[in-house]
């Protein structure tokens, strides 16, 4: 199937062709006809499969002109029959090109992060270049002055993060009573970030009937409950098992001590086949520290995390996209918001706590049919996370041993047998010595604390237990 056969209007097909796309991805081929037909859609697809185009193209088509006159595909013949009496089969008026109104969008796209919001906004600009529709994006971390000016000039499509959207609504700059199409993109991530209550407040302000589209890489129980509350007789579309990895990604693991991870990363980044690398760490402090380590090794790297200002994050991402900086270090805030072509390597400097996060991280490579390499650095205390990931993706990661001087020493037997918890040793390999209530070391055989676990020992056990429950 080709884009020209999906029933999209000529201006949109022209914009798609100018980008070099001729064949839709599976999620696009299944979702676009349903959205054009006016149905609510619940879509589940792995990252990097073209979900943005799956909803952006039909939204531009529906807002850009009369449905029955635009496309030439078979779907339009069905819509023509449904629209003979002036309404589609959901009982709504056909979408026509209308004058843009200040602060009153006709389509609203909600997403979790600023980076993802900018990516979606740029897609609407690209695919809607031959239409008269107006688009804008609002998110926090920057002054609202320029965003308010854009809103006052009139908008058709609004891309927003929930927090800034609610702020502007409370100030009277945005009115959602004209919204005809609502999109919740990366819904699972929005729930993870605590936006569920904000989403419900926003949905309450949007009139019905409306068309609602929800896209997510995973479908946990909370997402299905949300879908039941906002979707009406949705068409479920799943193009791959949820939270699976792209086959084009070669996945490997390095068993390496934490103190040697920086040196191992420096060696890998100096290899000729590493053209553009995205590196993930767990913490903001870890990002800044790793940038300094790489700088000492003569490797230029950018950084993105939530403590950075929006302008700094934008500059770092733009430098990475343009190739001026070959390495970008990021926390998981960027795992679903970065859409950069030709990322050859994704490196998990720290193993993620959640298996789904691993899938989203490595999904930054091998996008749009390309291939890529994912490398993960696993220390003794991260072995349980590795096993959870392998169970989730139903695949055992291949161990690389091309840097034997940095490899871990032989692990204890219980680690070899696949135990979920790491041995209670510090990174230096010395036995952990907590302090008991009497101030003595936990290994002491005398005193009132004899035979009891130290506070530190109990803390470590509780932490490991909690991680097991999370998995």
Which of 199, 219, 238 terminates a domain? The answer is: 238
Q: Residues 312-339: what's their mean pLDDT?
A: 84
* Integer Rg of the chain from CA: 25
Higher pLDDT, 158 or 306: 158
Residue 244 lies in a domain: no
Q: Which residue has the higher pLDDT, 72 or 14?
A: 14
Structure tokens at 261: 């991870």
Does residue 353 sit in the same domain as residue 298? yes
pLDDT of residue 261 exceeding 90, the answer is yes
Residue 315 has pLDDT above 80, yes or no: yes
Share of the chain above pLDDT 70, in %: 76
- Output the pLDDT for position 428: 38
pLDDT band at 154 (very low <50, low <70, confident <90, very high): very high
Question: 39 with 70, same domain?
Answer: yes
Does this model's pTM top 0.85? My answer is no
The candidate with the shortest Cα–Cα distance to 432, out of 413, 459, 467, 412, is 459
Q: Which residue has the higher pLDDT, 213 or 87?
A: 213
The answer to whether position 425 is within a domain reads no
- The answer on 74 and 220 residing in a single domain is yes
137 confidence band (pLDDT: 50, 70, 90): very high
For residue 396, what is the domain's CATH number? 3.40.50.300
User: How many CB atoms within 10 Å of residue 101?
Assistant: 14
Cα distances from 383 to residues 8, 262, 352, 421, 468, in angstroms, run 49, 19, 11, 7, 12
Instruction: Examine residue 424 and state whether it is found in any structural domain, yes or no.
Output: no
With 90 as the cut, is the pLDDT of residue 463 above it?
no
Contacts of 418 (CB under 8 A, 6+ apart): 387
Within-domain flag for 458: yes
Query: Does the structure show a pLDDT above 80 at 55?
Result: yes
pLDDT (average), residues 323-331: 93
User: Binning pLDDT at 50, 70 and 90, where does residue 268 land?
Assistant: very high
Query: Bigger pLDDT: 87 or 115?
Result: 115
Q: Are residues 98 and 167 in the same domain?
A: yes
Q: What pLDDT was estimated at residue 335? A: 58
What domain range is 341 assigned to? 249-416
**Could you give phi then psi for residue 321, rounded to 5 degrees?**
-65, -40
Return d(Cα 64, Cα 77) in angstroms, integer: 18
One domain for residues 274 and 218: no
Q: Which residue has the higher pLDDT, 126 or 459?
A: 126
What's the CA gap between 385 and 400, in Å, rounded? Answer: 18
β-sheet bridge partners, residue 425:
431
Per-residue model confidence (pLDDT) at position 334? 59
Question: What's the distance, CA 285 to chain centroid?
Answer: 21
Q: Which DSSP letter does residue 258 get?
A: G
Same domain, 183 and 64: yes
The DSSP symbol for 245 reads -
Q: Does a structural domain hold residue 423?
A: no
For residues 289 and 392, state if they share a domain.
yes
pLDDT for 116 beyond 50:
yes
- Reported confidence tier of residue 239, pLDDT bands at 50, 70, 90: confident
| Average pLDDT of the chain, as a whole number | 81
Q: What is the phi/psi pair of residue 27, to 5°?
A: -65, -35
The domain total for the chain is 3
- Position 135 in a domain: yes
In a domain, 296, yes or no: yes
The runs of H, that is alpha helices, within 258-297 are: 261-269, 284-296
Domain final position from 238, 266, 298: 238
Do 193 and 56 share a domain, yes or no? yes
Nearest to 19 by CA among 127, 132, 116, 131: 127
**Residues 234 and 317 placed together within one structural domain of the fold:** no
In a domain, 426, yes or no: no
**Which of 112-116, 164-168, 367-371, 443-447 tops mean pLDDT?**
164-168
Same domain? For 383 and 469 the reply is no
- What strands lie across the sheet with 345-348, from one edge to the other? 301-304, 327-330, 277-280, 345-348, 372-378, 249-255, 398-399
d(CA 22, CA 13): 9
User: What is the reported pLDDT for 462?
Assistant: 52
- Tell me: do 287 and 333 sit in the same domain: yes
Quick one: 301 and 166 in the same domain?
no
Q: How far apart are CA 208 and CA 211, in angstroms?
A: 8
Nearest C-alpha neighbor of 24 from the set 327, 256, 368, 257: 368
């Amino acid at each position: 199937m080709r884009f020209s056969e999906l029933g999209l209007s000529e201006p949109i097909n022209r914009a798609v062709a100018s980008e070099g796309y001729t064949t839709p991805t599976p999620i696009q081929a299944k979702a676009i006809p349903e959205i054009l037909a006016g149905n609510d859609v619940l879509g589940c697809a792995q990252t990097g499969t073209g979900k943005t185009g799956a909803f952006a193209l039909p939204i531009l088509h529906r807002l850009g002109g009369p449905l029955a006159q635009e496309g030439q595909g078979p779907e339009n013949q069905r819509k023509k029959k449904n629209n003979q009496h002036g309404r589609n089969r959901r009982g709504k008026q056909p979408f026509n090109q209308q004058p843009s109104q200040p602060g009153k969008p006709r389509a609203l796209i909600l997403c979790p992060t600023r980076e993802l919001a900018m990516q979606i906004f740029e897609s609407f600009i690209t695919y809607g270049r031959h239409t008269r529709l107006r688009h804008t994006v609002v998110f926090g971390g920057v002054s609202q002055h320029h965003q308010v000016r854009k809103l006052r000039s009139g908008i058709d499509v609004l891309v927003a993060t929930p927090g800034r959207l609610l702020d502007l609504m409370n100030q009277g700059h945005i009115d959602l009573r004209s919204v005809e199409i609502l999109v919740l993109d990366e819904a699972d991530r929005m729930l993870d970030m605590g936006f569920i209550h904000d989403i419900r407040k926003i949905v309450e302000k949007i009139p019905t009937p409306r068309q609602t589209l929800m896209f997510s890489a995973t479908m946990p129980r909370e997402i299905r409950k949300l879908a039941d509350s906002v979707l009406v007789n949705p068409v479920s579309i799943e193009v791959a098992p949820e939270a699976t990895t792209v086959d084009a990604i070669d996945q490997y693991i390095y068993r390496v001590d934490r103190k040697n991870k920086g040196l191992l990363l420096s060696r890998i980044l100096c290899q000729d086949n590493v053209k553009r690398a995205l590196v993930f760490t767990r913490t903001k402090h870890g990002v800044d520290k790793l940038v300094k380590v790489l700088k000492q090794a003569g490797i230029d790297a950018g950084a993105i995390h939530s403590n950075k200002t929006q302008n700094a994050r934008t500059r770092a991402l733009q430098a990475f996209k343009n190739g001026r900086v070959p390495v970008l270090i990021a926390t998981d805030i960027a795992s679903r918001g970065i859409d950069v072509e030709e990322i050859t390597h994704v490196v998990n400097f720290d193993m993620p706590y959640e298996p789904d996060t691993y899938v989203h991280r490595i999904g930054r490579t091998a996008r749009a049919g390309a291939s890529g390499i994912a490398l993960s650095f696993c220390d003794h205390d991260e072995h349980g996370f590795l096993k959870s990931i392998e169970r989730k993706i139903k695949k055992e990661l291949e161990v690389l041993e091309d840097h034997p001087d940095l490899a871990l020493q032989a692990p204890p037997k219980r680690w070899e047998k696949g135990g979920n918890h790491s041995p209670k040793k510090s990174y230096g390999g010395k036995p952990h010595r907590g302090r008991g209530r009497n101030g003595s070391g936990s290994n002491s055989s005398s005193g009132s604390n004899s035979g009891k676990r130290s506070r530190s020992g109990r803390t470590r056990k509780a932490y490991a237990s909690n991680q097991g429950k999370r998995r």
